[in-house]
Amino acid sequence: METQPTIIEFKDCPYLDGEKKVEVYPLNKDSIEENIPDGIQPANYRIGRLSNLGYSVIYVGRVDNRQDRGLKDRMIEHLDDFEGDCYFEWNESASILDAYKKECKDYHYWSSFGTLENSIHPRKPNSSIFTICPICGQ
């Protein structure tokens, strides 16, 4: 199975925090095992599709405090969730709170395109009951 990344270039994409290029990896078990180190958390991830129009994110998520291999195991759980060829990208976060804020940014940004399959707003971290979404205040 393919495991090598594809480079995607974005123009003026606020969710990238100034980055212009992103590596997206095929969403398959070999690629996940090869491209995500064990224990990565907290972290954010995006799952999307490539087309002649570019890269469309269809799902955003985060990993906070798992008792397994962290992001790697979360991505493996997603293997049966999406049909067709999908890709993923991810980034580590400095804290659970930062991961939540990043997921909120991702959720609101990609929701505006109508491609996102997430049906509900990101949940607040269990350890931060007084946290609010930095975009909508929810």
pTM, to two decimals:
0.88
Q: How far apart are CA 50 and CA 56, in angstroms?
A: 7
Q: What are the CA-CA distances from residue 36 to residues 40, 81, 124 (Å)?
A: 8, 19, 25
Per-residue pLDDT of the chain (138 residues), as tens digits, is 777 878 777 665 655 665 677 889 999 999 999 999 988 889 999 999 988 777 889 999 999 877 767 899 999 999 999 888 999 999 999 999 999 999 999 999 899 888 899 989 999 887 666 678 888 888
Q: How far apart are CA 112 and CA 53, in angstroms?
A: 16
Q: Nearest to residue 103, comparing CAs of 52, 64, 48?
A: 64
Q: Where are the domains of the chain?
A: 6-111
